[in-house]
Structure 1
């Protein structure tokens, strides 16, 4: 009887740890999609979504999430679908706010600036959307500008 109880308890414990692992994978996937979606929203802010911007996002997703090319392209497709279905950026920033640290959110902002300045210029709509994204991620304006200046200096755009 005791062995049956132990077996039951250990199996249940294994299942709950499997469930927790699956929950972690689900959260990670949602964060990947949300992050990618923000990049897509920003890339489209100036009215066009170029192949260079698409490549930039795919490469960034590969580097950021340590994923392969095929998975990054699948992630991009899924994120594009979510962007089309979304009502606002809050759907994506809410997910990020829930799970990212302040430091991770600031790094995301910095990388969004890299996307904007990849073509060496900034459209007014891109700037406006960055302000909106930073507000919804609870990033101070001072930090937003700091990250912008870091990226501009890094790219020699002073």
Structure 2
């Protein structure tokens, strides 16, 4: 009986961990999309950068990336602010992971060859909401250039 109870709680904990990982992926993808939308010019280069970043970072297949992007687009369309995405990441990600996300946001912003002030403002806002220090913000920007 005790073994069955332990198995149940391990299964619940495993499901919660999988849900947290899915939430983090969805939130990160939505933030990448928000940066690409910030300048009202969703270039092919930015979309390709998002696709490749997700594929590499999360080790997903092409179909899984497409599905994640579709879901994140819908979620982002329904969002009223960036807070719902940043709060998920802030709660579940380490400092290093948050800085890597800021770097990824810069990669998307630079993908089309120029950074629009709206893209930079969006990244700055995300960095603030994630409690990423200014020095880490600048270092991520410089690395993405």
1:79 aligns with 2:72: yes
Runs (5+) with no aligned partner, structure 1: 1-7, 153-158
1:143 aligns with 2:133: no
Q: TM-score, normalising length from structure 2?
A: 0.96
Whole-angstrom CA distance in 1 between matches of 2:93 and 2:31 = 14
Give the corresponding residue for 1:40.
33
Q: Larger RCO: Structure 1 or Structure 2 (Cα < 8 Å, ≥ 6 residues apart)?
A: 2
Give the corresponding residue for 1:20.
13
Q: Which runs of 4+ in 1 moved over 6 A?
A: none
**Which secondary structure does the structure 2 equivalent of 1:49 belong to?**
coil
**Which secondary structure does the structure 1 equivalent of 2:102 belong to?**
helix
Give the corresponding residue for 1:125.
118
Query: How far does residue 109 in structure 1 lie from its aligned partner after superposition?
Result: 0.7
Query: How far does residue 17 in structure 1 lie from its aligned partner after superposition?
Result: 0.8
Match of 2:58 among 65, 74, 77: 65
Q: Cα deviation per residue 1:49-77 (whole Å; 9 max; x = unaligned)?
A: 22332222122111111111111111001
Q: TM-score, normalising length from structure 1?
A: 0.88
Whole-angstrom CA distance in 2 between matches of 1:73 and 1:67 = 10
Runs (5+) with no aligned partner, structure 2: none
RMSD over aligned Cα atoms: 1.0
Whole-angstrom CA distance in 2 between matches of 1:142 and 1:21 = 36
Query: How far does residue 150 in structure 1 lie from its aligned partner after superposition?
Result: 2.0
